[in-house]
Amino acid sequence: EDGHQLWLRPQRAAPVKVVATGKNSLLLATARQELQQGWQGKPGASVALTLTKDKTIKYDGFRLGPTSVQAATEAGLLYGVYELLRRQQTGQPVQNDLLNPSYEHRLLNHWDNPDGSVERGYAGQSIFWRKDSALVTTSQDKTRWQEYARANASVGINGAVINNVNAAPQILSAEYLTRVKAIADVLRPYGVKTYLAVKFSSPVLLGGLKTADPLDPAVVKWWQGKTKEIYRLVPDFGGFLVKASSEGQPGPQDYGRTHADGANMLADAVRPHGGLVMWRAFVYSPNDKDRAKQAYNEFVPLDGKFRDNVIVQVKNGPIDFQPREPFSPLFGALKKTSVMPEFQITQEYLGHSIDLAFLAPMWEECLGSDTHQAGPGSTVARCTDGSVYPQKHTAMAGVANVGLDTNWTGHDFAQANWYAFGRLAWNNQLKSAQIADEWLKLTFGGPTAAADWNTQFLTPVKQLMLDSREAIVNYSMPLGLHHIMSATREHYGPGPWWAPPKMRADWTPRYYHQADSAGVGFNRTKTGSDAVSQYHEPLATQFNDPTTCPDEYLLWFHHLPWDFKMKSGNTLWNELCAHYDKGVQQVRQFQKVWDKAQPYVDAERFAVVQHKLRSQSGNAVQWKDACLLYFQQFSRMPIPADVEPPMNNLDAIIANDMRPRR
């Protein structure tokens, strides 16, 4: 068990007959094959896959019976088959259920570069691109892509942006487009559409034009031509993802144009072919006093100005995929624009592929957050899936954690995040516990599992997963702290001190924690940056007052004295110490749970996970020691006696962090 099979470990299948109506398309062939490979129901049963015109079926949804799937599209039939097999394997009943996806488009965003490296990836090189030989497609490449597409389809993912948002212009060159076509051809039988991230200045860098001004006729023409070229190779190409005027990337603002001007120009180019433009709202500049406010300020005035085949792609929080952020105030505030959430599946700020973090609880928290924008119950989920505002298109994106590692994701448990993303994009009301339950059964269970596997493995390990994200929040950035990680270690480990000379202030932790002798935290109240006012009432008032602001967001919105009295009765300092300590204790507990699970899991995966938990334990202690000792310089208060005393010295931790790395 090297983890390569993911949640799709081969099962001994019973014979089954498949009766499919509709033309014998690629997708139906896949569905038929999956049933024949995985059928766990009555031997010899006959399963009917039927296309219908049922109006209650939405997008690629389906109606499921014990031996039947009805859908409006062939992709729907395929998803129905996967659901049927999943239920058989996890022992869930089937009773003529109607299952519709929450979002029309459920996409992975790969931050993969043409040279094979993966930005913020921790699972090896890219599965799509390779240095030197990038343009030769081998049978090994194809096998990988097929396995990848199958895993996606099995959880309902129907799109993949196959290159980095920090896009290289050559991705649009004829050579690279040949490779794009090769990839698209392999993903197609699984219903996964191919998309590309594009660099806004491609007309200049690749096309040799003098400008990339979106209103310049030559630029418009260049994009139209390029788009046609792509669709000739990939007739079902999904469209473009764009990171523009952000973190040094070029964009319409370089030419005095707005994000809407830029997005609409591309939208017009793909429209005749049925394509989409996903335009990211992740924009901020160093000149502003509060990074958290900028995307809202930039995009709200543009509400209603985007073409209807543009979707504005918004990260879950206002800053950047931190272990905990309040939801981005753009959700619900954009009322006349299609908006899609972007989550990060890869664990850039949550321990890379070393620490165990099950992210479904984080996404569930965001999707369930009530924006109040159209009255109570206007959750982020409902503000993005078309329930609150009539969106022309709905979608959800996740930054993929997939690489060439044998087990795909580096950490065996990080596979659960790929799985969870797909499941939540399909059903944004799903509960983390159910997702964890399914994933564990599929990934570690099976017919050969011990009789007491459920009580001895499933229950405790599921709890471990459900607690894992909060443990990381506790030992790294509790109580609303954010962005205090080390930058020398690629955002792994603590770095509240990190501030090299001349570094952009908004890329240094001090900008975010603002610790001084008077207290700690970012004042985003009405007396500070006033970011609170970007939230709809009653949230603005609630967040503005430290006595009503939820503890989880306290230091996100407030700069408070070290002896501030918390709801628990503790001083802020003692509460901070308690959280860091709790995080460490939680990881120790995870180690014990895993050790006890040994008899119920294969030796190979047991050892790898055990080893990683040990490293995580060390990381948790580093975080706790570093942050408490660092902040103590300002609080000048003692670490409470019931907190495990530091075992590292601050100067040693800092010296180690500053040590140049390969």
Residues forming contacts to ligand BDP in the complex (CB under 6 A) are 119-120, 165-166, 243, 247, 282, 320-321, 348
Residue 642 annotated as catalytic: no
Cis peptide bond prior to 538, omega within 30° of 0? yes
Yes or no: say if 46 and 19 are a contact pair by the CB < 8 Å rule.
Answer: yes
Which one, 282 or 363, has the nearer CB to ligand BDP? 282
> Angle at which helices 603-635 and 650-658 pack, to 10 degrees?
120
- Annotated active-site residue in 290, 320, 405, 467: 320
- Residues 18-56 as b/e (b if ≥16 CB within 10 A, e otherwise) read bebeeeeeebbebbbebbeebbbbeeeeebebbbeeeee
User: What is the smallest separation between the CB atom of 273 and ligand BDP, expressed in angstroms?
Assistant: 26
Q: Give the separation between CA 483 and CA 491, rounded to whole angstroms.
A: 9
Residue 119 annotated as catalytic: no
Q: Is the dihedral of CA 303, 306, 311, 312 positive or negative?
A: negative
CB atoms within 10 A of CB 66: 15
Which one, 321 or 457, has the nearer CB to ligand BDP? 321
Which one, 120 or 565, has the nearer CB to ligand BDP? 120
Q: Give the separation between CA 314 and CA 397, rounded to whole angstroms.
A: 9
User: What is the smallest separation between the CB atom of 183 and ligand BDP, expressed in angstroms?
Assistant: 22
Q: Which of 109, 108, 112, 196 is nearest to 152 (CA)?
A: 108
User: What is the smallest separation between the CB atom of 349 and ligand BDP, expressed in angstroms?
Assistant: 8
Q: Which residue has the tokens 């080390």?
A: 486
Residue 348 annotated as catalytic: yes
Which one, 226 or 243, has the nearer CB to ligand BDP? 243
For every residue of 532-572, DSSP letters joined together read: GGGSPTTHHHHHHSTTTS-GGGHHHH--B-TTPBPTTSSBH
User: What is the smallest separation between the CB atom of 321 and ligand BDP, expressed in angstroms?
Assistant: 5
Q: Which of 100, 80, 82, 98 is nearest to 90 (CA)?
A: 82
Which one, 193 or 491, has the nearer CB to ligand BDP? 491
Q: Whose CB is nearest to ligand BDP?
A: 320
CB atoms within 10 A of CB 300: 15
Which one, 23 or 661, has the nearer CB to ligand BDP? 661
Yes or no: say if 443 and 436 are a contact pair by the CB < 8 Å rule.
Answer: no
Largest interatomic CA distance in the chain: 74
Distance of CA 363 to the CA centre of its chain: 8
Q: What distances in angstroms separate CA 361 from CA 127, 465, 466, 469, one per listed residue?
A: 28, 9, 7, 7
- Annotated active-site residue in 34, 141, 348, 657: 348
Q: What is the DSSP letter of 494?
A: B
Which one, 360 or 485, has the nearer CB to ligand BDP? 485
Which one, 120 or 271, has the nearer CB to ligand BDP? 120
For every residue of 511-522, DSSP letters joined together read: HHH--BTTBBS-
User: What is the smallest separation between the CB atom of 253 and ligand BDP, expressed in angstroms?
Assistant: 16
Helix (H) or strand (E) holding 401: none
User: What is the smallest separation between the CB atom of 491 and ligand BDP, expressed in angstroms?
Assistant: 7
User: What is the smallest separation between the CB atom of 60 and ligand BDP, expressed in angstroms?
Assistant: 28
Q: What distances in angstroms separate CA 572 from CA 42, 518, 565, one per listed residue?
A: 60, 12, 6
- The beta-strand segments (E) located in 199-275 are 239-242
Q: Is the dihedral of CA 179, 185, 191, 193 positive or negative?
A: positive
User: What is the smallest separation between the CB atom of 456 and ligand BDP, expressed in angstroms?
Assistant: 39
Which one, 253 or 427, has the nearer CB to ligand BDP? 253
- Annotated active-site residue in 175, 229, 247, 452: 247
Burial class (CB in 10 A: 0-12, 13-18, 19+), 570: middle
Which one, 243 or 352, has the nearer CB to ligand BDP? 243
User: What is the smallest separation between the CB atom of 320 and ligand BDP, expressed in angstroms?
Assistant: 5
274 Cβ contact partners less than 8 Å away, ≥ 6 residues apart: none
- What residues are labeled active site? 247, 320, 348
